[in-house]
Amino acid sequence: MQNHILLNKDSIRALLDARISNDIQTLKDLPPPESLCNLTTIAKEIHKSIKNNKKITLIGDYDVDGVVSSVIVKEFFDLISYPLDVVIPNRFKDGYGISKKLLERISADVIITVDNGINAVEAAKICEQKNIKLIITDHHNPPEILPSALICNPKLSPNFPQADICGACVAWYMCAALKKEMNLGVNMTIFLDFLALAIVSDVMPLSGINRVLLKKGIECIKNSNKTAFKILKEKYKSHVDCELISFSFAPLLNCAGRMDSAMLSYEFLCERDYAIGRKKFEHLLLLNEERKKIQNQTYLHAKDMCENSGVIVVYDESWHEGILGIVSARLSEEYKKTSIVLSTSDEGGVIKGSMRGESCMEILDSCSDLLLKYGGHNNAAGLSLKLENLEQLKDRLRFVESFYARDDLVLGEVLFKDLDDEFFNMILCYEPYGEGNFKPHFKTKAKITNIKHIGNNGGHSAFVLRDDNLYLNAIKFGEEIPKILENSEIEIVFCHAFNYYGELIVRVISYKEKE
């Protein structure tokens, strides 16, 4: 293990303070809706449509961010007792976002998009021909040519202090603007439990607006009596934090759009009847198990195809479209490279897929002449191209520098005697941890005792770390620590964690016997 500077509580506090220094520290500090370009105009347009009894249709997206965006707007419209049709495209039948296929089966006077639409140039033309008022709320990177519509996107809002917010946050702001326009008494914090799901699942940087909304949103989830959250908390009996949302809630809610229809997740989150909610939840669990099985098979196949080149590009016509993004993310994480995973689409001679890693949009911009469509974020994107252009794409990206190394998460070394209640309470004060505010890791030395191998078939270790009169329960996942180390002094890299019962413990990341 490399040497690290010895830290005390004051120096740790200073390091963590520097991460989250921002003018936005509480809900009161949030920028007003009018700081998002066009949002006031959009609110006026929606209000006018309501007064004129126009038929309004909302078009969401099939990931958690798009589903949550749809839930928030629908719940808001329920509060004001105005009908709203909600359509979440089916990945397999409709494609992404407000597509030409989707518009063929929609009848509306006004269409509002959430978490999609910024690339919908063709769809905007169709809406114009059909005399449909199109309102786009999105957060993805804008193209050079924008759709002909009323658009709100934080990346097109120079007076908005934070461009990287999720689609559900833009939708939440839209509802806040409508509340203001209609002079309503709606408490906008009632949606923050939903919003927390989107912020985490869409991997938003946890500073400023995102941090404040997520911190309050996690509190709301802990206290929420909404049917979906009651069921989720019953299933996953653990401390509610970013990790629980990221590794348990989000994959379950995402699996519906990946394997079948995201309307299942949407209906589950909206459901008020507990018995019906349980049935939808059980359906989600079955889909998630199916997703895991297909995903693992595809990942192993894709891994065998990876070349030692710049951007990873792999393709197989048989791969399930719904799990390409997860496989791409796993490849990117393992090889520390940007990754593209592709499969056959239902259009003859066209393949499409997902991209994960760094500089996604910049890389895709550099080969746009080979692509039919693409869009997304810097860390995640979707694309389609003709099969005949695949080898050219591989050649073009073979020498693109896409290797990246994750920042060292170890802040420094601490003395074991300093790992008291005050230390852990201080660390907890800087939650939520996640993108841009990674959970801090530390190095220390202690004796290891009471080693037990746990898990259904072993594979993990539970033990106690001690030094003099200080004892800490600890766990090491994915490894059975040899019992020969009982009572040995070891060096460890660790972070804090919570066990199944919500008790604070030490999670050992790596260890070695002290020389």
Sign of CA dihedral 442, 247, 407, 302: positive
Q: For residue 482, is pLDDT > 70?
A: yes
Length of the chain: 515
Confidence band for 425, pLDDT divided at 50, 70 and 90: very high
Residue 167, domain CATH? 3.90.1640.30
Same-domain check for residues 203 and 314: no
Does 273 reside within a domain? no
Q: For residue 125, is pLDDT > 70?
A: yes
Q: Which residues pair with 353 in a beta bridge?
A: 342, 383
pLDDT in tens, 267-311: 999 999 999 999 999 999 999 999 999 999 999 999 999 987 789
pTM value is: 0.90
d(CA 341, CA 319): 9
Burial of residue 233 (number of CB atoms within 10 Å: 0-12, 13-18, 19+): middle
Does 295 reside within a domain? no
Q: For residue 406, is pLDDT > 60?
A: no
pLDDT in tens, 75-102: 999 999 999 999 999 988 888 889 888 9
Does 318 reside within a domain? yes
Using a pLDDT cut of 70, give the percent of the chain over it.
Answer: 98
d(CA 493, CA 180): 50
* pLDDT at residue 478 in the model: 85
Confidence band for 409, pLDDT divided at 50, 70 and 90: confident
Q: Which of 465, 472, 467, 470 is nearest to 448 (CA)?
A: 465
Confidence band for 475, pLDDT divided at 50, 70 and 90: very high
Confidence band for 514, pLDDT divided at 50, 70 and 90: confident
Same-domain check for residues 372 and 447: no
- Structural domain ending residue among the three candidates 397, 426, 452: 397
Same-domain check for residues 347 and 494: no
Query: Could you tell me the residue range of the domain that residue 457 belongs to?
Result: 408-513
Q: Which residues pair with 86 in a beta bridge?
A: 58
Same-domain check for residues 392 and 454: no
Q: Which of 58, 56, 59 is nearest to 96 (CA)?
A: 59
Q: For residue 1, is pLDDT > 60?
A: no
Residue 456, domain CATH? 2.40.50.140
Confidence band for 473, pLDDT divided at 50, 70 and 90: very high
User: How is residue 137 annotated by DSSP?
Assistant: E
Does 348 reside within a domain? yes
Q: Which residues pair with 456 in a beta bridge?
A: 458
Same-domain check for residues 357 and 425: no
Does 253 reside within a domain? no
Same-domain check for residues 415 and 393: no
- Structural domain ending residue among the three candidates 347, 371, 397: 397
Residue 389, domain CATH? 3.10.310.30
* pLDDT at residue 287 in the model: 96
Same-domain check for residues 335 and 448: no
Confidence band for 185, pLDDT divided at 50, 70 and 90: very high
**Stretch 114-141: mean pLDDT:** 96
**Stretch 150-163: mean pLDDT:** 97
Chain-centroid distance of CA 116 in Å reads 15
**Stretch 254-259: mean pLDDT:** 95
* pLDDT at residue 2 in the model: 63
Q: For residue 382, is pLDDT > 90?
A: yes
Provide the domain count of the chain. 3
pLDDT in tens, 22-72: 889 999 999 999 999 999 999 999 999 999 999 999 999 999 999 999 999
pLDDT in tens, 349-362: 899 999 999 889 99
Same-domain check for residues 103 and 191: yes
Does 19 reside within a domain? no
d(CA 54, CA 58): 13
Does 446 reside within a domain? yes
* pLDDT at residue 405 in the model: 61
Same-domain check for residues 384 and 479: no
Same-domain check for residues 55 and 202: yes
Residues 6+ apart with CB under 8 A from 507: 474, 475, 476, 477, 494, 495, 496, 497
> Comparing 10 with 309, which gets the higher pLDDT?
10
> Comparing 1 with 340, which gets the higher pLDDT?
340
**Stretch 479-500: mean pLDDT:** 91
pLDDT in tens, 195-219: 999 999 999 999 999 999 999 999 9
* pLDDT at residue 346 in the model: 76
Does 328 reside within a domain? yes
Tell me if the bond preceding 432 is cis, omega within 30° of 0. yes
Same-domain check for residues 392 and 412: no
Average pLDDT, the chain: 93
* pLDDT at residue 408 in the model: 63
CA distances 227 to 21, 253, 272, Å, are 36, 14, 6
d(CA 492, CA 1): 9
Over its C-alpha atoms, the chain yields an Rg (Å, rounded) of 24
Amino acid at position 88, single letter: I
Q: For residue 258, is pLDDT > 60?
A: yes
Same-domain check for residues 423 and 322: no
- Structural domain ending residue among the three candidates 222, 239, 267: 222
